């Protein structure tokens, strides 16, 4: 299908984000609660935030986790996953995903570590954002974690897979496709079998946010079904997305140039 352009009527702006979340980089929704975290520079914690006003309801600090460069949140039926795999330098050899039980989620919850490398990375002597081994997006399905890379050099994305159990793994490269921009977040809506990849391009220093939508597939062959690329009327760095069911997704952007960090909702069903 050809590219499409969403309007401000398609993308509903819900609320400003709380002041603690100036760099919302991951979103997840479960038990009717929305959680987010900041990019690098914060402590190892997540924020339960209101969807109707700029309010933080709860903050959970995980003493047994580190916060180097948290980039995405994912989930399965039992667990929450936090991706500490931001890799702007291309030199990190401590990439980790934290796995935490959703039942009884608290400051004292056990933090399980899933450590990994990229199976096709052999050189770690890169310059800042001059490589294809950054990552800011993941989903979890059928006992596997799927990672979508953020390729600074060629504006494509690579799909990797690794088990969702504790250990150290070499993430297997499955495929690469031309995303035509930097992928910053991912989530899967199981109600409609819709995979959403969030990303942006920059031209003349202006951000242009886009979504890739994938329908009617079987993992890991996400591109075997129907796909669409949709430009969104967000001209800030958008890095958080999560399914809220029935084809709807929350999207968050970072505070850019004093324009504020915002929470939006987008319905994908009309784009199938």
Indicate if the pLDDT at residue 260 is higher than 90: no
Indicate if the pLDDT at residue 2 is higher than 90: no
What average pLDDT score do residues 17-43 get?
95
Dihedral pair phi/psi, residue 269, rounded to 5°:
-60, -35
Read off the pLDDT band of 203 (50, 70, 90): confident
Q: Quote the number of domains for the chain.
A: 1
Nearest partner of 184 among 135, 139, 218, judged by Cα: 135
Read off the pLDDT band of 256 (50, 70, 90): confident
For the chain, give the number of residues.
Answer: 272
What average pLDDT score do residues 211-221 get?
92
Domain extent at residue 166: 4-271
Give me the pLDDT at residue 233, please: 95
Indicate if the pLDDT at residue 131 is higher than 80: yes
- Cβ 102 vs Cβ 48: under 8 Å: no
Indicate if the alpha-carbon torsion angle 211, 152, 252, 57 is positive or negative: positive
Residue with token string 């690469």 = 176
Question: In angstroms, rounded to a whole number, what is the distance separating the alpha carbons of residues 49 and 53?
Answer: 9
| Average pLDDT score, the chain | 95
Question: In angstroms, rounded to a whole number, what is the distance separating the alpha carbons of residues 160 and 253?
Answer: 25
Cβ neighbors of 160 (< 8 A, separation 6 or more) are 118, 119, 146, 147, 148, 149, 171, 172, 173, 174
Read off the pLDDT band of 204 (50, 70, 90): confident
Indicate if the pLDDT at residue 209 is higher than 90: yes
- Supply the CATH number for residue 174's domain: 2.120.10
Q: What angle do CA 104, 106, 109 make, to 5 degrees?
A: 80
Give me the pLDDT at residue 126, please: 93
Indicate if the pLDDT at residue 8 is higher than 90: no
What average pLDDT score do residues 140-149 get?
97
Indicate if the pLDDT at residue 1 is higher than 70: no
Question: In angstroms, rounded to a whole number, what is the distance separating the alpha carbons of residues 150 and 213?
Answer: 17
Written as six digits, the tokens of 39 are: 């990019």
Give me the pLDDT at residue 225, please: 87
Indicate if the pLDDT at residue 193 is higher than 90: yes
* Side-by-side strand order, sheet with 238-245: 11-16, 262-267, 248-253, 238-245
Residue 149 β-bridge partners: 135
Indicate if the pLDDT at residue 41 is higher than 90: no
């Amino acid at each position: 299908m050809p590219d499409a352009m969403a309007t401000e009527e398609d993308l509903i702006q819900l609320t400003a984000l709380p002041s603690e979340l100036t760099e919302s980089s991951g979103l997840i929704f479960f038990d009717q609660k929305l959680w987010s975290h900041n990019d690098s520079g914060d402590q190892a914690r997540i924020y339960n935030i209101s969807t109707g006003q700029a309010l933080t309801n709860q903050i959970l600090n995980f003493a047994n986790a580190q916060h180097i460069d948290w980039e995405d949140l994912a989930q399965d039926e039992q667990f929450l996953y936090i991706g500490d795999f931001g890799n702007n330098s291309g030199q990190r050899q401590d990439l980790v995903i934290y796995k935490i039980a959703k039942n009884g989620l608290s400051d004292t919850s056990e933090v399980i570590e899933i450590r990994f490398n990229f199976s096709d990375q052999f050189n770690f002597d890169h310059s800042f954002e001059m490589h294809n081994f950054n990552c800011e997006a993941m989903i979890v399905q059928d006992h596997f974690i799927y990672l979508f890379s953020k390729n600074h050099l060629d504006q494509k994305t690579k799909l990797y897979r690794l088990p969702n159990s504790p250990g150290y793994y070499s993430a297997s490269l499955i495929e690469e496709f031309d995303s035509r921009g930097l992928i910053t977040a991912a989530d899967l809506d199981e109600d409609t079998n819709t995979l959403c990849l969030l990303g942006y391009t920059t031209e003349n220093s202006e951000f242009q946010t886009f979504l890739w939508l994938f329908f009617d597939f079987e993992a890991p062959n996400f591109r075997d079904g129907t796909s669409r690329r949709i430009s969104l009327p967000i001209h800030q760095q958008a890095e958080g997305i999560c399914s809220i069911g029935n084809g709807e997704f929350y999207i968050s952007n970072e505070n850019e140039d004093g324009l504020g960090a915002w929470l939006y909702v987008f319905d994908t069903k009309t784009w199938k």
